[in-house]
Structure 1
Amino acid sequence: MEKGVFVKDIVPNAEAAGIFAVADAALAQSRNGPYWRLVLADASGSVEAKIWSPLSGDFSEIAPGTLAWVEGRASLFRSALQLAVEKFRPLDAAEAASLDQTAFLPSSPYPIDGMDEELRELCLREFTHKPWRRLVFAVLDDEELGPRFRIAPAAKNVHHAYAGGLLEHTLGVFRLCRRMAAQYAELDRQTLLAGALFHDFGKIREFSGGLNNDYTGEGRLLGHLLLGVEMLGPFLVRSRLESGLQEHLKHLILSHHGELEFGAVRQPHTPEALALHCADNLDAKLAQCRGLFTGLEGDGPAWTPWQPTLGRPMYRPPRTPGGREGAPTERKTAKREECLSLLKA
């Protein structure tokens, strides 16, 4: 089947037809009878939709995560785009299985293959102690965990909450920890980087991922810190990593939230644990800001609404004219370091 129109291409006062995932569904009541209030989504965004009576009576249940062929007319309601549904047909299992699921999942703005390749290259470069290297690549090459790590989200809705988000966040924290280790020679570089690589690994089991990403049962009961330590257990045994280093890695994972009130099992008690907490916190908060600012209209200064997770609204300030946007990629940095070493030789 063809996907049809994407959310981003729906415009007011025009017909729209395509396949969408039902992100949310609720049955409500109006003066004219019951109606369904839906949020329809695909990889390009989401749009509110209404199934009015009498068509609404054809559906006793609409489950979130359902894929459906939808036809309707778009309009503006209180300055927001809304779709009045004229046809709604849930797809059967065979039709849903034939579709490219990535068309319906919000995903990382960066190519997953490129991020995975960069992270693996960095691991090859950094983990020179054989037990560390044995552990790292046994996990990354695991037939079950490796593919799930590539596409898992890093959250339900706060930061990196999309396919590939966990890989993107892990790579960001790994890069930051490399810079910290270069700045502060007292840090155990390989232990810190192992903590960066595995600090959120338990999110593979904490979140369901997919079209209706949510917390799993064990995710709610145990959380990704404990799940991550549990998942690494068999790999640690086979790695023959020294017991002291195993203990330190577990501490990094269990303490990276920083404070007990924010979900840490223990507060950070080593310099490496403090460094990892700072790197994780910075990458998560700046990713959240990036998402907030992307949703603001225009390119000039603007305030976001109040953000409960940050405890404040955020301001997008004016930019320095001609200022450099962002930091160089790891590949460019590595190339620059190579050139500098040649000049010094």
Structure 2
Amino acid sequence: MADISTPFTVRDIKALDRTGGDTFTSVLLIRKLAERPTKTGNTFLAVELGDKTGSFTCNCFSDNPAYEFFKALKEGDIVRIEAKVDYYQSRLSPKLLRAEPLSQEQLAGSPLMANLVETAPEDADSLWLEFQGFIAGIGNAELRATMQALFEDIGDQFRIAPAAVSMHHAYRHGLLEHTVHMARACKALLLLYPEVHADLAMAGVLAHDTGKVIEYQGDLVPGKSRRGILQGHVVLGYQLVRKAGMKVKLSSELLERLEHIVLSHQGELEWGAAVIAATPEAVFVAKIDDLDAKMGMVQRLLRQAGENDEFSDRHLGLNSQLLLRPPGGNPSPAAASS
């Protein structure tokens, strides 16, 4: 039996015997809380609990005391649970034995608090320094000044914001990490595509997701703000870029093309793009964005994989399960460094 006096991380829990019914205690965040109907017309709560090493979902039916406990809480609250290892359809779904709420004040200064908040695996200060280098490397003075004006306004928020609520780079500093990864790819791939205006493409990469600093809110668990729901990050980013461009008197043609990159970077209308990419630079940025978003999903699934896991759960963004074991059975670089 697991030692119930020591809080387990989600990764620790996934390493426990799947069939032994081990009990464990853990301190976790409520990431998602959704009330859903059963086939018989009753309701149950789907409660996603997690920390920086991963997450799992517990289903609490209306005849279970845990139902009323979680119904009184909200996303972003912290709980200590005691539970028994159980799996449903090959997914970790522990049976709750006890649960109690904890406040941030109770965990202040504790390593348990730090373990709750998922952050980018790369050092945020180093990422920000590299990001500043990409701005300085833009040769066109007007575009460089536009990026400087833009990030003078939003830099503090941009450094810590997530890139999504759940899909990709959905953690603290995730937006910065995602954008730097895209800038690295942009710099490497520009050599292959001389048709693409290099400075405009790099500015588009750096600015494409800036609306997310307004779209998302929340400290421990990100959610959408009112403006995020009503306008979305594509429109919000367009507004931020237009404001910065007009402030530095960016030429009308470059401003129009930069705005177009932001408006089209989601790739498809059904994915949230305001328009379809219609310039070489916009096509280029949209494809790099999609590549890094998908690989960000892959990297996170590999980081959070349990040592006994062969496949991940089906990931909505990948539309598939991911094979977690590398060729030859050796640990992957991502898993080995976690």
TM-score by length of structure 1 reads 0.75
1:200 to partner: Cα distance: 0.9
1:227 to 2:236 alignment: yes
1:77 to partner: Cα distance: 4.3
Query: Judging changes above 3 Å, is the alpha-carbon distance between structure 1 residues 237 and 29 closer, same or farther for their aligned structure 2 residues?
Result: closer
Query: Judging changes above 3 Å, is the alpha-carbon distance between structure 1 residues 317 and 16 closer, same or farther for their aligned structure 2 residues?
Result: closer
Query: Judging changes above 3 Å, is the alpha-carbon distance between structure 1 residues 283 and 59 closer, same or farther for their aligned structure 2 residues?
Result: closer
Could you say which residue in structure 2 is the equivalent of 1:43? 52
Could you say which residue in structure 1 is the equivalent of 2:3? none
Alignment partners' CA distance in 1, 2:308 and 2:69: 45
Query: Judging changes above 3 Å, is the alpha-carbon distance between structure 1 residues 321 and 304 closer, same or farther for their aligned structure 2 residues?
Result: closer
Alignment partners' CA distance in 2, 1:28 and 1:265: 32
**Structure 2: segments with no counterpart, 5+ residues:** 1-5
1:188 to 2:191 alignment: no
Query: Judging changes above 3 Å, is the alpha-carbon distance between structure 1 residues 64 and 321 closer, same or farther for their aligned structure 2 residues?
Result: closer
Q: Indicate which of 160, 164, 174 corresponds to 2:183.
A: 174
- Bigger relative contact order, structure 1 or 2, given CA contacts below 8 A and separation 6+? 2
Question: 1:152 touches 1:209 (CA, 8 Å); kept in 2?
Answer: no
Could you say which residue in structure 1 is the equivalent of 2:86? 76
Q: Indicate which of 78, 84, 96 corresponds to 1:67.
A: 78
Alignment partners' CA distance in 2, 1:83 and 1:16: 12
Q: Choose 244-253 or 98-107, whichever is displaced more.
A: 98-107
The alignment-based identity, stated in percent, is 27
Question: 2:30 touches 2:78 (CA, 8 Å); kept in 1?
Answer: yes
Alignment partners' CA distance in 1, 2:314 and 2:24: 35
Alignment RMSD (CA, Å): 3.8
**Structure 1: segments with no counterpart, 5+ residues:** 327-345
Secondary structure in 2 matching 1:118 = helix
The 5 A counterparts of 1:268-287 are 268-287=277-296
Alignment partners' CA distance in 2, 1:259 and 1:108: 27
Q: Indicate which of 27, 31, 34 corresponds to 1:23.
A: 31
Secondary structure in 2 matching 1:89 = strand
Question: 1:180 touches 1:275 (CA, 8 Å); kept in 2?
Answer: no
The 5 A counterparts of 1:1-345 are 5-10=8-13, 11=16, 13-16=22-25, 19-25=27-33, 38-48=47-57, 61-68=72-79, 70-78=80-88, 80=92, 82=94, 84-91=96-103, 94-95=105-106, 102-124=114-136, 126-142=137-153, 145-294=154-303, 307-312=315-320, 319=327
Aligned residue type for 2:85 = S
Alignment partners' CA distance in 1, 2:253 and 2:187: 22
1:249 to partner: Cα distance: 0.5
Query: Judging changes above 3 Å, is the alpha-carbon distance between structure 1 residues 248 and 71 closer, same or farther for their aligned structure 2 residues?
Result: closer
Note the alpha carbon deviations across 1:259-305, whole angstroms, 9 max, x for none: 323322222221111111111111112222333455666699x6666
Alignment partners' CA distance in 2, 1:260 and 1:118: 32
Query: Judging changes above 3 Å, is the alpha-carbon distance between structure 1 residues 259 and 304 closer, same or farther for their aligned structure 2 residues?
Result: same
Question: 2:127 touches 2:177 (CA, 8 Å); kept in 1?
Answer: yes
Alignment partners' CA distance in 1, 2:116 and 2:265: 32
Alignment partners' CA distance in 2, 1:123 and 1:27: 45
Note the alpha carbon deviations across 1:297-333, whole angstroms, 9 max, x for none: 6699x666655544455557864899x979xxxxxxx
Alignment partners' CA distance in 2, 1:282 and 1:154: 14
Aligned residue type for 2:86 = L
Query: Judging changes above 3 Å, is the alpha-carbon distance between structure 1 residues 99 and 219 closer, same or farther for their aligned structure 2 residues?
Result: farther
Question: 1:163 touches 1:209 (CA, 8 Å); kept in 2?
Answer: no
Secondary structure in 2 matching 1:234 = helix
Query: Judging changes above 3 Å, is the alpha-carbon distance between structure 1 residues 244 and 97 closer, same or farther for their aligned structure 2 residues?
Result: farther
Aligned residue type for 2:147 = V
- Find the structure with the greater CA-based Rg: 1
Aligned residue type for 1:276 = V
Query: Judging changes above 3 Å, is the alpha-carbon distance between structure 1 residues 299 and 180 closer, same or farther for their aligned structure 2 residues?
Result: farther
1:173 to partner: Cα distance: 1.2
Note the alpha carbon deviations across 1:121-155, whole angstroms, 9 max, x for none: 2322x12333222222233333xx21221121112
Alignment partners' CA distance in 2, 1:56 and 1:38: 10
Note the alpha carbon deviations across 1:205-235, whole angstroms, 9 max, x for none: 2222432322223222222111001123332
Question: 1:187 touches 1:271 (CA, 8 Å); kept in 2?
Answer: yes
1:88 to partner: Cα distance: 0.7
Aligned residue type for 1:6 = T
Alignment partners' CA distance in 1, 2:290 and 2:333: 21
Secondary structure in 2 matching 1:46 = strand
